[in-house]
Amino acid sequence: MDVRVDGKVALVTGASRGIGAAIARELVDSGAAGVVVTGRRADALEAFATELGDRVVAVAGNATDESHVEAAVGAAVDRFGALDLLVANAGTNPSAGSLMDVDLGAVDRTWEVNLRSPLVWARHAWAASMRDHGGAILTIGSVGGIAPGPLLGAYNVSKAGLHHLTRQLALELAPGVRVNALAAAVVRTRLSSALWESDEAAAADAHPLGRLGEPDDVARAAVFLLSDAASWITGAVVPVDGGMTGATGLSLGALG
C-alpha cells in the first residue's frame, strides 16, 4: 500500500527530535503540501525545518502556552491555507517515582503537557480549519496508558487519560474529523532513555519482537492513520509496541 498525504497540511508538536521529527519527515516524504513543526528548542527546530525544505515551517514555543498554539496553528493556515492534520506528540515525564512520593508539582506538569495540551491544540485546529474543512488528529500515547507499571505512575495516568480523550474527541468531532492514538512501547529516544540505556538487551527482550522501537516505526503508523487509507478508522488506540500488548499480554514490570 502506498500511503500518501498529498496536498495535506500538517502540524506536528514536539518535532525537533525523536518521534515528532520522524513523523514530520515521513509526512514530507509522503507528499504533504506543508508541515508546521513546533518545539521549545528554536535553533534545533529551525535547522530541522531547513533540512526538510521549503514545505516546512518552524514555530518555536512551549506546547502548553496557548499563545504559541494560536501562533503555530495560524502559521499553518496563513502559509498553506488550511490545517488538515494535527499530531499532538509533545510530551514529558519529569515525575518518575511512586505516586505516594513524587513531587505534585511535577505531576501537575506531566498532566498539563501530556493531557491538557493536546486538547488545547485540538480546539485551536478545530476552530481555525477543521470544523469547516475536516481533517485528522493523532495523539501519541503509550503502552503505559494501557496497564500500570512501576515508577512512571503519573506519566502512565496522563497517557491513559490521553487515550480516553482521543476516544471522546473522535465521538465529538465525527464525522468530519477522525481522531486516533498510537500507544508506543519503548522507542529509542532521549525521553525514554532511562528505560533502556542501562541495559538495552533486557529492555529489548521485554518486547516479543526482540528489539526496541525506532522513531520511524511510529512515524509510518502515524502517517497511515492520518492518511485517507485509514478513512474508516477513528477512536482507535493502536499499539506500536513490538508485540508487548498483543503477543504476551502487557507487563511493564521488566521496564521499571
Q: Which of 80, 111, 155, 224 is catalytic?
A: 155
Question: Using CA atoms, how far apart are residues 160 and 172, in angstroms rounded to an integer?
Answer: 19
For this structure, is 153 an active site residue? no
In the β-sheet with 135-142, what is the strand arrangement from edge to edge?
56-60, 34-39, 9-12, 85-88, 135-142, 177-184, 237-240
Question: Using CA atoms, how far apart are residues 135 and 184, in angstroms rounded to an integer?
Answer: 23
3-state secondary structure of 156: helix
Question: Using CA atoms, how far apart are residues 78 and 12, in angstroms rounded to an integer?
Answer: 16
Residue type, 209: L
Q: Which residues are catalytic?
A: 155
